[in-house]
């Protein structure tokens, strides 16, 4: 039987099979799937757990067969947890796994936790035997495109809902680090006002209560106060703030200005453009000042600069990202 990782919890509510194979190269998700199986096995009466790690050179596959044949002193059922880091048991391991499946009584639960298993191994005899005898769960990593959906689901499990712009910042900040994501969700549970996670909530969590407010810095740049803007960004840098949320906030604002300016340059009324783009009354003066200084062409060039800074942060381009952020903010403020 093949199962998707997201199907496992529901599957285990109705049954606990005697064999599970969990494989993948996303440790957190594999570990969480393993926890689900362990919990279901305990509920089904498996009160003991034996761990066999195939990683050490002195590991003997005979220990798996001994575990299958060995009766508990008190007749208790157990979980035999077999760890297969490289996803390749070899000839001896393949033979032992097939032999285990032939002689196992079905009372115990064999939980195989493996690294990513390649396509060739998925066609092997041992893999097919495990798939036939129980359930195989391939755990896929969460990519950049899937990260927002995964985060929203994770927050939902914690009883939280999140605004779209807050979700965008959070996903950008975490860059696929699921362990960090779990920590951020726990932090947001404490910071959220009620059950709604807003952009301000995420900013507070991401910036770790930095002394300077990120959005105040952006509005200061829009208003044209270059000196104050640099003072704020240098303060954030001095406190160890990550460059990612700063770049995200600046890029988001430049992108919004670019969209506004495109409509204004073809003669659309300013009030109508501001209303359609939901520019807050409190920000109209700063936004207007920035639009008076910068054409759509200039704003497009700034977006290209922001893209280059993103490359510097991720190591794809040369240059210090903080120095380039300084220059971008100065350009925006002048």
For residue 230, the SS3 value is helix
Range of weakest confidence among 101-105, 271-275, 321-325? 101-105
Range of weakest confidence among 27-31, 37-41, 133-137, 290-294? 27-31
Q: Specify whether 178 is located in the same domain as 255.
A: no
Q: Which of 300, 193, 323 is nearest to 251 (CA)?
A: 300
Which range in 102-111, 161-170, 177-186, 264-273 is most confidently predicted, on average pLDDT?
Answer: 264-273
Cα(first)–Cα(last) distance of the chain, in Å? 63
Whole-number pLDDT of residue 265:
95
Which range in 5-9, 144-148, 211-215, 293-297 is most confidently predicted, on average pLDDT?
Answer: 293-297
Mean pLDDT of 231-241: 83
The yes-or-no verdict on residue 277 having pLDDT over 80 is: yes
Q: Specify whether 156 is located in the same domain as 129.
A: no
Confidence band of 241 (pLDDT split at 50, 70, 90): confident
Q: Specify whether 80 is located in the same domain as 155.
A: no
Domain termination site, one of 86, 107, 139? 139
Q: Specify whether 15 is located in the same domain as 93.
A: yes
The yes-or-no verdict on residue 153 having pLDDT over 80 is: yes
The yes-or-no verdict on residue 74 having pLDDT over 80 is: no
Other beta carbons within 10 Å of 94: 18
Mean pLDDT of 93-97: 94
Confidence band of 208 (pLDDT split at 50, 70, 90): low
Domain termination site, one of 167, 186, 207? 207
Q: Give the structural domain span for 160.
A: 147-207
Mean pLDDT of 234-244: 83
Mean pLDDT of 272-291: 88
288: enclosing H helix or E strand: helix 284-293
The yes-or-no verdict on residue 3 having pLDDT over 90 is: yes
Whole-number pLDDT of residue 70:
73
Catalogue the E-assigned strands of 159-249: 161-162, 196-197
User: pLDDT digit string (tens) for 209-235?
Assistant: 444 467 778 889 999 999 989 988 988
Q: Specify whether 73 is located in the same domain as 132.
A: yes
Q: Specify whether 61 is located in the same domain as 127.
A: yes
Range of weakest confidence among 64-78, 199-213, 265-279? 199-213
Distance CA 105, CA 102 (A): 9
- The percent of residues in the chain predicted with pLDDT above 90, rounded, is 52
Task: Kindly report the CATH number assigned to the domain that includes residue 175.
Answer: 1.10.8.60
The yes-or-no verdict on residue 312 having pLDDT over 50 is: yes
The yes-or-no verdict on residue 113 having pLDDT over 70 is: yes
Q: Specify whether 16 is located in the same domain as 83.
A: yes
Distance CA 211, CA 318 (A): 29
Range of weakest confidence among 130-134, 235-239, 269-273? 235-239
Average pLDDT, the chain: 88
Q: Burial code of 185-206, b = ≥16 C-beta within 10 A, e = fewer?
A: bebbeeebeeeebebebbbbbb
Q: Specify whether 285 is located in the same domain as 320.
A: yes
Domain termination site, one of 89, 104, 139? 139
Do 111 and 83 form a contact (C-beta atoms < 8 A)?
Answer: no
The number of folded domains in the chain is 3
- The percent of residues in the chain predicted with pLDDT above 70, rounded, is 96
Q: Specify whether 159 is located in the same domain as 77.
A: no
Range of weakest confidence among 196-210, 251-265, 317-331? 196-210
49: enclosing H helix or E strand: strand 46-53
- Give me the count of residues in the chain: 334
The yes-or-no verdict on residue 298 having pLDDT over 90 is: yes
- In this prediction the pTM is 0.62
Q: Specify whether 84 is located in the same domain as 151.
A: no
Confidence band of 75 (pLDDT split at 50, 70, 90): low
Q: Specify whether 33 is located in the same domain as 112.
A: yes
Q: Specify whether 278 is located in the same domain as 313.
A: yes
């Amino acid at each position: 039987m093949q199962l998707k990782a997201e199907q496992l919890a529901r599957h285990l509510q109705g049954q606990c099979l005697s064999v599970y194979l969990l494989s993948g190269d996303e440790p957190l998700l594999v570990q969480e799937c393993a926890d689900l199986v362990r919990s279901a096995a305990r509920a089904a009466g498996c009160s003991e757990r034996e761990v066999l790690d195939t990683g050490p050179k002195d590991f003997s596959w005979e220990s798996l067969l001994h575990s299958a044949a060995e009766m508990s002193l008190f007749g208790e059922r157990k979980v035999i947890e077999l760890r297969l880091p490289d996803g390749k048991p070899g000839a001896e391991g393949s033979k032992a796994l097939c032999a285990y499946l032939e002689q196992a009584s079905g009372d115990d639960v064999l939980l195989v936790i493996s690294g990513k298993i390649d396509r060739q191994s998925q066609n092997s005899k041992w893999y097919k035997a495990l798939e036939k005898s129980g359930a195989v769960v391939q755990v896929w990593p969460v990519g950049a495109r899937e990260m927002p959906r995964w985060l929203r689901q994770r927050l939902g499990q914690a009883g939280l809902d999140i605004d779209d712009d807050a979700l965008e910042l959070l996903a950008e900040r975490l860059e696929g680090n699921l362990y960090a994501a779990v920590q951020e969700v726990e932090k947001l549970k404490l910071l959220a006002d009620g059950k709604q996670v807003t952009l301000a909530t995420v900013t507070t969590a991401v910036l770790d209560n930095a002394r300077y407010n990120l959005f105040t810095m952006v509005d200061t740049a829009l208003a044209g106060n270059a000196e104050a803007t640099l003072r704020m960004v240098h303060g954030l840098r001095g406190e160890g703030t990550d460059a990612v949320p700063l770049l995200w906030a600046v890029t988001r604002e430049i992108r919004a200005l670019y969209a506004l300016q495109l409509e204004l340059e073809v003669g659309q009324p300013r009030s109508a453009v501001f209303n359609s783009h939901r520019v807050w009354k409190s920000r109209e003066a700063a936004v207007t000042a920035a639009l008076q200084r910068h054409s759509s062409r200039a704003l497009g060039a700034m977006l290209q600069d922001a893209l280059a800074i993103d490359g510097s942060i991720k190591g794809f381009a040369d240059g210090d990202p903080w120095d380039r952020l300084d220059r971008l903010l100065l350009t925006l403020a002048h």
